[in-house]
A and B are shown apart, each in its own frame.
Chain A
Amino acid sequence: MSERNVVVRMRDVHKSFSGVSILAGLSFELERGKCLGIMGGSGTGKSVALRHVIGLMKPDSGVVEVAGDDLAALDRKGLAAMRRRMGYVFQEGALINWLTVAENLALPLKENTKLSPSEIDQKVQEKLALVRIPDAGAKYPTEISGGMKKRVGIARALITDPALILYDEPNAGLDPEISRSINRLMRDVSEELGVSSLVVEHRVDCLRTVADEVLFLYKGQALVHEPTESFFRPKNTRLREFLGVDAADAQSPDQASS
Chain B
Amino acid sequence: MFSEGSIPDWWPTLLALVAITSTLYTLWQLGGFRELLREAGARLALLAATFACVPHLFRRRRWFLHQLFLAGVMNLHVVGFVGLFIGMIISLQTGIELARFGQQDQIGPLVAAGMAREMGPFITAIILASTFGSALAAEMGTMAVSDELTALEVMSIDRVSLLILPRVAALAIICPLLTVVCDMIGILGGGFVANAQLGVGWNLYLDSAFAALSGLGDTIPFPKDVYTGLFKSFCFGILIAIVSCQSGSEARGGALGVGRATSRAVRDSAIGIIVANYFLTWVFYGGAS
Interface residues, chain A, with chain B CB atoms under 8 Å away: 54, 56, 80, 83-84, 86, 88, 90-92, 94-97, 107-108, 111-112
Identify the interface centre among B143, B146, B154, B162: most chain A CB within 10 Å of its CB.
Answer: B154
Distance from B156 Cβ to chain A, minimum over Cβ atoms (Å): 4
As a 0/1 sequence over residues 140 to 179 of chain B, the CB contacts with chain A under 8 angstroms (1 = contact) are 0011001110111111111000100000000000000000
Q: Which residue of B lies closest to A87 (CB)?
A: B154
Q: Once the chains bind, are B151 and A83 in contact (CB under 8 Å)?
A: no
Distance from A24 Cβ to chain B, minimum over Cβ atoms (Å): 24
A-B CB pair tally, cutoff 8 Å: 45
Q: Once the chains bind, are A94 and B150 in contact (CB under 8 Å)?
A: yes
Residues of B within 8 A of A97 (CB): 142-143, 148
Bound-state Cα–Cα, A200 to B162, Å: 30
Q: Which residue of A lies closest to B152 (CB)?
A: A96
Instruction: Please classify how large the interface on chain B is, using the bins under 10, 10 to 19, 20 to 34, 35 or more.
Output: 10 to 19
Bound-state Cα–Cα, A181 to B155, Å: 26
Residues of A within 8 A of B152 (CB): 96
Q: Once the chains bind, are B156 and A54 in contact (CB under 8 Å)?
A: no
Distance from A102 Cβ to chain B, minimum over Cβ atoms (Å): 15
Q: Once the chains bind, are B156 and A84 in contact (CB under 8 Å)?
A: yes
Q: Once the chains bind, are B151 and A94 in contact (CB under 8 Å)?
A: yes
Bound-state Cα–Cα, A105 to B265, Å: 31
Bound-state Cα–Cα, A221 to B59, Å: 47
A-B contact pairs, 18 of them (CB 8 A): A56-B150, A56-B154, A83-B154, A90-B147, A90-B151, A94-B150, A94-B151, A95-B151, A96-B143, A96-B152, A97-B142, A97-B148, A107-B157, A108-B155, A108-B156, A112-B155, A112-B156, A112-B157
Distance from A99 Cβ to chain B, minimum over Cβ atoms (Å): 10
Q: Once the chains bind, are B147 and A83 in contact (CB under 8 Å)?
A: no
Distance from B66 Cβ to chain A, minimum over Cβ atoms (Å): 9
Residues of A within 8 A of B147 (CB): 90-92, 94
Identify the interface centre among B152, B155, B157: most chain A CB within 10 Å of its CB.
Answer: B155
Residues of A within 8 A of B146 (CB): 92, 94
Distance from B149 Cβ to chain A, minimum over Cβ atoms (Å): 9
Bound-state Cα–Cα, A251 to B154, Å: 42
